[in-house]
Structure 1
C-alpha cells in the first residue's frame, strides 16, 4: 500500500481541515466510494439535501470529492455525480502548519469498484 506524501503547497490545509471538521463530511466521503448523486448521498447519510449540497461543495473545494460528470436522474433531470478522490488521509500537526499524507484513488480502483457494485 503506497502513500503519496503531499507538500503543503499542493493542499490547502485550512480548507481540508475545515471540510473534514464539518458534521457529515466523513460520512459523505465514505458513502462516495462509487459515483453518486447528491440525492443518493443525502439518502445514504440520512441528512437533508440542502446540508448535503453544502458539504459536497466544501469537500469539492478542498479537493476531497470530485464531480465525475452528469447523469439522468429517475425524474429525467441531469444531476452531478460525485466520488471521493482519496481513500486515506493522515494529518501531521507536529510542524507550524499541518502536513498531509494521502492515498489517492486510482482510476483502476474506481473501475473495479464500479464493476463490483453492478
Structure 2
C-alpha cells in the first residue's frame, strides 16, 4: 500500500533527502528489514561503528528507521534494536519541492519476517 507523504514540510523533505544522501544510509535501510543492533548493522555492511551510529541517528530523525526496543548483547549489555519503517520510497522532483510516496511496513509483515528469521 503506497501513500503520499502529505504532511511533508520543507524541513521534513530536507531531513529525508539528507539522510538518504549520506553514505551507507541505503545499505543500513536494506539491512534493517529485520530488527538489528547498531553493532550487527555495522558488521553486516562492514562500516565503522561510529559511522553506523551517526547514520542510524539521521535515519531515525528522518522517520526512516525506528528503535524497536532493547535486547542483551553477547557481552551482556543492553542495546537498541532498529528496523526500517518502510519498504519503498519514491521521490518526485518535477514540482518546486520534492514529493514523497512511501510504502510503509506493516506490523503483520514485521511479524511474518520475524517468524521466518527464527
For residues 23 and 17 of structure 2, what CA distance do their matches in structure 1 show? Answer: 12
Aligned to 1:86: 86
TM-align CA RMSD: 1.3
Residues 1-118 of structure 1 aligned to structure 2 (within 5 Å):
2-7=1-6, 8-9=8-9, 12-118=12-118
For residues 4 and 45 of structure 1, what CA distance do their matches in structure 2 show? Answer: 29
Alignment gaps of 5+ in structure 1:
none
For residues 81 and 100 of structure 1, what CA distance do their matches in structure 2 show? Answer: 26
Normalised to the residue count of structure 1, the TM-score between the two structures is 0.96
After TM superposition, which residue ranges in structure 1, 4 or more long, deviate above 6 angstroms?
none
For residues 76 and 27 of structure 2, what CA distance do their matches in structure 1 show? Answer: 27
User: How many residues are treated as equivalent by the alignment?
Assistant: 117
Normalised to the residue count of structure 2, the TM-score between the two structures is 0.96
Instruction: Using the TM superposition, give the Cα deviation of residue 95 of structure 1 relative to its aligned residue in structure 2, in angstroms.
Output: 1.1
